[in-house]
Amino acid sequence: MSLTYRCQLQNRWITLTQELANSGEAKVWHTNFNGYLAKIYHNPHNERVDKLQLMVRNRPGDPNAHLNHISFAWPYSILEDNQGKVVGFLMPEVVGSETLLKLCTPKLRKQYKLETNWYFLHVVARNIAAIIQAIHLKGYVLGDIKLENILVNNRALPTIIDTDSFQVSDPYSSKIYRCLVGSEGFTPAELIGVNLADVDQTEVHDRFRLGVVIYYLLFSGPPFRGLWQGAGDSLEQSELIRRGLWPFSGDKLVVPSNTTIPLNILHRDLHALFLRCFNEGHKFPDRRPTAEEWRGTLEAALKEVIRCGKVDNHYYNRSYGKCYWCERFSDLNFDIFPGNSIATVTPFTENLPKGITLEMVSLPAGQFFMGSPDRDNEKPQHQVQVNSFAIGKYPVTQAQYQAVMGNNPSWFKNNPQNPVEKVSWNDAQAFCQKLSQITGKTYRLPTEAEWEYACRAGTTTRYYFGDDANQLGDYAWYKGNSQDKTHPVGQKKPNAWGLYDMSGNVWDWCEDDWHNNYIGAPKDGSAWLVNNDNRSQFPKCLRGGSWFSFPYVCRSANRYRVNPDYDYGDSGFRVVCGAGRTL
């Protein structure tokens, strides 16, 4: 075969230099035209040539042109042989990118040492939606979308290749050059089993394909996969699609497996788009989200994706309230976004008199949103920067209090490992002073900000385990399970930083004086004190709830005001080690 062809657009001769790929329809070559590849067809029939001519004349606008990026390997110019016969076309060469298949598949990411995270994949999904929106605006239908035909670079910018397979409509003659191929797993139900050569497709069919691509990106696998609950052997993927069966279709024939990532980790509007695409859209295809809707919703979702406080490569949706990927790793011992620990939580132990010890946990500095919209005294929510400090792993026990102070004021004295209670704010201050003398370190009560930061441990939900109050009994002794008494510390589950009894058992005293809301509150984690001479008589803050509290009171943001001499059987405390800071 000849290795030199004429570029119609520039009227110059192009030389093929090295074969790059060979498929059933064509060969792809490197050329001496810098930045361009040549696709030479085995059989360049007239219909294919007419289609190429239309594509060259009607190129979509590239949404990423301002970034000096090529979003689709669009036909640049027709190539002719020396007799004027069309043999193929020139297209831009895409370098420095990997296929979406590698990016979406955890095993391939590991094999090819590709680093990515959930935020990056949101950006890729948003950018793919924007590119397909531009293609649809020009009247094209992609027809055949598959993960191998989308390349992504390290800026999260995708490029769609094999564009000459698109369905093309001639705006002058209304002739349609159909897309003759489709890929399993990406073909919508209404086209399964249909001869694509006989079908005029629309962008509605692409909407399904785009939903599948975005699902792959955000969930590391196909949507139509799960545990088969029906009679007989499990169905093939195409049959599941044809019948609209996936783990979130609601019909119970296919249910999530233990590795299925739940939809509720998403931004709520993004969650809703997937349900529209695969549930409602199965019966009413025109109700599937458009590329423009996907792009806009992903843009909004990106603003809510935040970094985990524990692993540098973990990102999660703020409204989910905690890092799903840390949670998944804990359950499955497999991390699809491995990274390095950034929230180093370090335990240490203090030796007290009479052989008693005090376990402490050093927490990293960080930012968090303090408060909640639930009650007026928890408003306004505000961001606080907290310095590193150490806090008690448990509330101070009766044994520890006895060792330091020489007495035990508690009502519930059946076990020395029960938290000390019936201690006032003044009593807690006296304990901290004596402990500081024993250890030679500065011990004090936590500020309200430090307490809530430690309690939340990176979460934004009502409780440090989520929003479901029905789970409270796994983490706390409260009104519903305490039998109206305290219990030994550390018997319930800890929070993500290994702190126990942050909710329930006994209230924790804080350093701060009471304020009715957070208007004017410090943003540096310091204690908020009143500026008068009667501070010793001013109400103080209690946090966490107790054995006597209802679930609502055990929320991470809940606050309670009590006079400093209050010493009922539900009030205790835990200590902080670090330089005191007050406002």
Closest CA to 547 of 484, 455, 470, 454: 484
Segment 148-174 shows an average pLDDT of 94
What confidence tier does 84 reach under pLDDT thresholds 50, 70, 90? very high
Three-state DSSP class for 353?
helix
Each residue's pLDDT tens digit, 33-75: 999 999 999 998 889 999 999 999 999 999 999 888 999 999 9
User: DSSP string of 43-82?
Assistant: S--HHHHHHHHHHHHSPPP-TTGGGT--SB----EEEE-T
R_g of the chain, CA atoms, integer Å = 32
CB-CB contact of 222 with 260 (8 Å):
no
pLDDT (tens digit per residue) in 108-144: 999 999 989 999 999 999 999 999 999 999 999 999 9
Q: Fold for domain 114-159+172-177+186-306?
A: Transferase(Phosphotransferase); domain 1 (1.10.510)
Q: What is the pLDDT of residues 171-221, one digit of tens each?
A: 889 899 999 999 999 999 999 999 999 999 999 999 999 999 999 999 999
Q: For residues 397 and 371, is the Cβ–Cβ distance under 8 A?
A: no
Of 168, 170, 159, 172, the C-alpha closest to 124 is: 159
Instruction: Give, in order, the Cα–Cα distances in Å from 73 to each of 67, 150, 501, 559.
Output: 16, 10, 58, 59
Q: Delimit the domains of the chain by residue range.
A: 4-92, 114-159+172-177+186-306, 346-577
Q: Supply 63's token pair.
A: 């949404």
CATH superfamily of 4-92: Phosphorylase Kinase; domain 1 (3.30.200.20)
Biggest CA–CA distance in the chain, Å, is: 106
Q: What is the CATH number of domain 346-577?
A: 3.90.1580.10
How many C-beta neighbours within 10 Å does residue 379 have?
15
Closest CA to 322 of 218, 470, 465: 465
pLDDT for the residue numbered 583: 37
Locate tokens 């019948």: which residue? Answer: 243
pLDDT of residue 366: 87
**Calpha distance 250→266 (Å, rounded):** 18
